[in-house]
Amino acid sequence: MNQSLTHLPEEASESPCAKVVLIGVSTGGLKALCAILPALPADFPWPVLIVQHQHPDADDYLAQLLNEQCQIKIKQSDEKERIRPGTGYLAPANYHLLLEEDLTLSLSLDPPVNFSRPAVDVLFESAVDAMGQNCIGIILTGANKDGAKGLAEINHAGGTTVVQNPAQAVATAMPLAAMALITPDHILNLQEIGSWLVEHAKTHKEEI
């Protein structure tokens, strides 16, 4: 059944991450993240990895701000850090964020993808390699096409895909680009995404 768990190293099995939540967002991101992340309880069972497009010189202000508003811990990603449940990891400005197969984070300064660094596609594609069908990909408001390809890969790997309802997005390009490639499992309004995640986690727990 859950194939990825068989590959986890022992150290991780103490706090297994059965699934990982991946969020890609650009223009209008702060408001969108503030609508979703505070809805997650401190014991939310999965890590949340977030790529928010930012100015290359941005510091960790966004992480601090979100951390103050959330029950889960929100931090800027550190290199080689092991992801843990109930924690949100933001890509640092000007670095790509990737998930390794041993469920540690890595960073890279490879050239921008979709004119973006960090790029949503880079995170999502690496997460598919690491977690396969256990990825939950969420594309929110944004004014470019970043994330569409990555979300499609999550879809092809059997993972779960969510796109913000474009009719309500500050910038529609990112949700629409994703919907042009695949039919997402869920199209939700911002206010619904947090509670959907909480419900989804509960259902998953009952299934085990």
Partner 1 sequence: MDREATTIEIDLLLEAIFRKYGYDFRDYARASLKRRLRHRMSQEKIQSYSEMQHNLLYNTAFFDRLLESLSVSVTEMFRDPNVYRILRESVIPILNKRPLLKVWHAGCCTGEEVYSMAILLHEADLLNRTQIYATDFNQKSLNSAKKSCFHKSKIRNFSENYQHSGGTNSLLDYVTMQGDYAYIADSLKTQILFTDHNLATDWAFGEMDLIFCRNVLIYFNKTLQSRVVKLFQESLAPAGFICLGHKETLEFLDSEDKFKEIESNSRIYKVKQYQVNQ
Residue that has been written with the tokens 């944004």 in this structure: 142
Q: Which residues, numbered 128-147, are part of the site for partner 1 (CB under 8 A)?
A: 129-130, 132
Please check whether residue 96 is in contact with residue 113, taking contact to mean a CB–CB distance below 8 angstroms.
yes
Q: Which is nearer to partner 1, 79 or 199 (CB)?
A: 79
Q: Which residues, numbered 6-45, are part of the site for partner 1 (CB under 8 A)?
A: 7
Per-residue b or e along 6-18, where b marks 16 or more CB atoms closer than 10 Å to that residue's CB: eeeeeebeeeebb
Q: Which is nearer to partner 1, 14 or 111 (CB)?
A: 111
Q: Which is nearer to partner 1, 24 or 92 (CB)?
A: 92
Please check whether residue 25 is in contact with residue 55, taking contact to mean a CB–CB distance below 8 angstroms.
no
Q: How far apart are CA 102 and CA 104, in angstroms?
A: 6
Q: How far apart are CA 3 and CA 126, in angstroms?
A: 17
Question: Considering the rule CB under 8 A, would residue 125 count as an interface residue with partner 1?
Answer: yes
Catalytic residues: 26, 53, 146
Cα 94–Cα 27–Cα 20 angle in degrees, nearest 5? 70
Return the residue of 83, 90, 98, 197 that touches partner 1, per CB under 8 A: 98
Task: Please identify, among the stretches 16-24, 41-49, 74-82, 137-145, the one whose residues bind partner 1 according to the rule CB under 8 A.
Answer: 74-82
Question: Considering the rule CB under 8 A, would residue 185 count as an interface residue with partner 1?
Answer: no
The encoded tokens of residue 199 equal 């419900």
Residue that has been written with the tokens 């790997």 in this structure: 157
Q: Which residues, numbered 75-94, are part of the site for partner 1 (CB under 8 A)?
A: 78-81, 92
**Positions in the binding site for partner 1 (CB under 8 A):** 3, 7, 78-81, 92, 95-96, 98-101, 106-111, 122, 125-126, 129-130, 132, 157
